[in-house]
């Protein structure tokens, strides 16, 4: 079988694909309030410093630090109270030597003040006099202008996926809309003469389309826009027509092959003839997912996934997700979420091949235990029962029961 003559390691296969990508992200302007999970197209530069004024971090008295030099419990510094700072407004007084002003957390320091003493470290016996019971350093309990962000500072680099914290940071700077990468359109084709749409009753010999929907959900979860082209017969003309249309209309095309070897060969031939350079990788040394096909056709990446639902979803995580991230211009990558766990049983693996094993996580006194779910890769509920995947690297011949593994959450 020609497809298995030259199995590439997954990392090598992925770099070949990534090196052949030429598409660049496109910008689209959205309100910041709707931008959660989107990826910044350009860097965000602070239009002004944050905070833009000297701010107190405590409730207390704004003062001149020098006036408290040598002060202590037994020898308070006596300061004249000359006003109270209103929240959200400019203090209507300035401090001279020996003076202080009541201030609340978040309040603006009056002119002349360079520090704040906490209420707890003061006492008042007379209405217009404050006794400061300890020395205060310059800048104490104060946020400096620009301490959060300096004016002109690059606060969020291009290629950052926006989380709640970034949304808040943008709002703090008054950036209520911004340019993000347009969601890449990901065309999804299922092939297989035995496959029928999910809303169909199934006759003996038929199965419902699963891959179009697991892949749509995966694409959507990573910021792509899934475009389903339906189920195509395992027949070259029909496949070529659907795939050509998807290639013209989308930024990435994913084809799940029919499950037979001849259907897989058809997918390979199709991808190789759809545009230049065509097929780049045919067969990857990974289980599940050996018959994976990677190609680029006239600038559009085209990925042929195995037809088995478990294989298709696992392999899409390895190859489709990185392409979506590249098309989004994602540059600030964060670690993929995982959980440490102790393997419950021995897992054998073939040396040279990378294995991905679905596991269920169980609580134990020593933390999580990872229990492999053994099931053929045709069984979609194998994955529905799994919390994550354990990778057995290519240079390992297996993992022993009791060994510590990192479970990549699904």
Query: For residues 11-40, which are near its own copies according to CB under 8 A?
Result: 32-33, 36-37
What count of residues does the chain have?
Answer: 410
Of the residues 40, 68, 122, 214, which one makes contact with its own copies according to CB under 8 A: 214
Query: Does an H or E element contain 10, and which?
Result: helix 10-19
Q: What is the C-alpha separation between 90 and 318, in angstroms, rounded?
A: 56
Residue 390 and residue 372 in contact, taking contact as beta carbons nearer than 8 Å: yes
Of the residues 234, 325, 354, 355, which one makes contact with its own copies according to CB under 8 A: 234
Q: What is the C-alpha separation between 56 and 182, in angstroms, rounded?
A: 41
- 148 lies in the binding site for its own copies (CB under 8 A): yes
Q: Where are the beta strands (DSSP E) in 182-251?
A: 185-191, 195-196, 207-208, 225-232
Give least dist CB 231 to its own copies, A.
10
Query: Does an H or E element contain 271, and which?
Result: helix 261-273
Q: Where are the beta strands (DSSP E) in 344-403?
A: 347-348, 354-364, 367-372, 388-392, 398-399
Q: Is the peptide bond before 288 cis (omega within 30 degrees of 0)?
A: yes
CA-wise closest residue to 18 among 330, 287, 283: 330
Binding mask 95-134 for its own copies (x = CB under 8 A): ---------xxxxx----------x---------------
- 137 lies in the binding site for its own copies (CB under 8 A): no
Tell me the window of 13-21, 147-155, 295-303, 320-328 that interacts with its own copies (CB under 8 A).
147-155
Q: What is the C-alpha separation between 49 and 93, in angstroms, rounded?
A: 24
Binding mask 155-194 for its own copies (x = CB under 8 A): xx------xxxxxxxxxxxxxx---------------xxx
Quote the tokens at residue 254: 């994913």
Tell me the window of 21-29, 61-69, 144-152, 266-274 that interacts with its own copies (CB under 8 A).
144-152
Q: What is the C-alpha separation between 31 and 6, in angstroms, rounded?
A: 48
Give least dist CB 307 to its own copies, A.
7
Tell me the window of 65-73, 181-189, 205-213, 245-253 that interacts with its own copies (CB under 8 A).
205-213
Of the residues 24, 73, 74, 88, which one makes contact with its own copies according to CB under 8 A: 88
Tell me the window of 22-30, 148-156, 242-250, 390-398 that interacts with its own copies (CB under 8 A).
148-156
Phi, psi dihedrals of residue 264, rounded to the nearest 5°: -65, -40
Contacts of 350 (CB under 8 A, 6+ apart): 287, 397
Nearer to its own copies, 155 or 253 (CB): 155
Question: Where in 369-398 is the site for its own copies (CB under 8 A)?
Answer: 375-376, 378-384, 386-387
Question: Where in 282-341 is the site for its own copies (CB under 8 A)?
Answer: 307, 309, 313, 334-335, 337-340
Tell me the window of 44-52, 76-84, 127-135, 236-244 that interacts with its own copies (CB under 8 A).
44-52
- 208 lies in the binding site for its own copies (CB under 8 A): yes
Q: Where are the beta strands (DSSP E) in 48-87?
A: 55-56, 60-63, 77-84
Of the residues 368, 390, 392, 399, which one makes contact with its own copies according to CB under 8 A: 368
Of the residues 15, 220, 346, 397, which one makes contact with its own copies according to CB under 8 A: 220
Contacts of 29 (CB under 8 A, 6+ apart): 177, 178, 179, 180
Nearer to its own copies, 82 or 188 (CB): 188
Give least dist CB 210 to its own copies, A.
4
């Amino acid at each position: 079988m020609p497809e298995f003559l030259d199995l590439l390691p997954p990392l090598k296969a992925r770099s070949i694909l990534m090196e052949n990508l030429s598409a660049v992200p496109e910008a689209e302007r959205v309100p910041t309030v709707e931008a959660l999970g989107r990826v910044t197209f350009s860097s965000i530069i602070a239009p002004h410093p944050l905070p833009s004024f000297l701010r107190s971090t405590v409730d207390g008295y704004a003062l001149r630090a020098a006036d408290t030099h040598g002060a202590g419990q037994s020898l308070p510094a006596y300061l004249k109270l000359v006003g109270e700072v209103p929240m959200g407004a400019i203090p209507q007084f300035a401090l001279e030597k020996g003076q202080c002003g009541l201030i609340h957390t978040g309040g603006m320091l009056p002119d002349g003040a360079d520090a704040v003493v906490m209420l707890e470290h003061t006492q008042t016996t007379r209405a217009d006099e404050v006794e400061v019971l300890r020395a205060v350093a310059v800048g104490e309990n104060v946020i400096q202008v620009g301490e959060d962000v300096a004016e002109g500072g690059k606060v969020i680099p291009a290629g950052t996926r926006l989380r709640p914290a970034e949304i808040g940071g943008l709002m703090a700077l008054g950036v209520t809309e911004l340019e993000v990468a347009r969601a890449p359109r990901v065309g999804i084709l299922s092939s297989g003469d035995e496959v029928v749409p999910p809303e169909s009753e199934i006759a003996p010999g038929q199965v419902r389309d699963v891959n179009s929907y697991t892949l749509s959900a995966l694409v959507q979860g990573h910021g792509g826009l899934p475009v389903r082209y339906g189920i195509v017969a395992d027949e070259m003309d029909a496949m070529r027509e659907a795939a050509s249309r998807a290639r013209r209309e989308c930024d990435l095309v994913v084809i799940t092959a029919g499950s037979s070897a001849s259907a897989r060969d058809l997918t390979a031939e199709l991808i190789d003839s759809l545009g230049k350079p065509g097929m780049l990788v045919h067969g990857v040394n990974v289980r599940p997912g050996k018959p994976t096909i990677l190609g680029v056709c006239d600038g559009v990446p085209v990925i042929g996934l195995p037809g088995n639902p478990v294989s298709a979803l696992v392999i899409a995580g390895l190859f489709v997700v990185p392409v979506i991230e590249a098309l989004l211009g994602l540059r600030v990558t964060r670690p993929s979420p995982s959980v440490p766990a102790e393997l419950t049983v021995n897992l054998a693996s073939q040396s040279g091949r990378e294995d991905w094993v679905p596991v269920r996580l169980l609580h134990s006194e020593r933390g999580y235990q990872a229990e492999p779910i053994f099931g053929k890769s045709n069984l979609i509920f194998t994955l529905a029962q799994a919390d994550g995947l354990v990778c057995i690297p290519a240079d390992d011949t297996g993992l022993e029961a009791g060994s510590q593994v990192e479970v990549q959450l699904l």
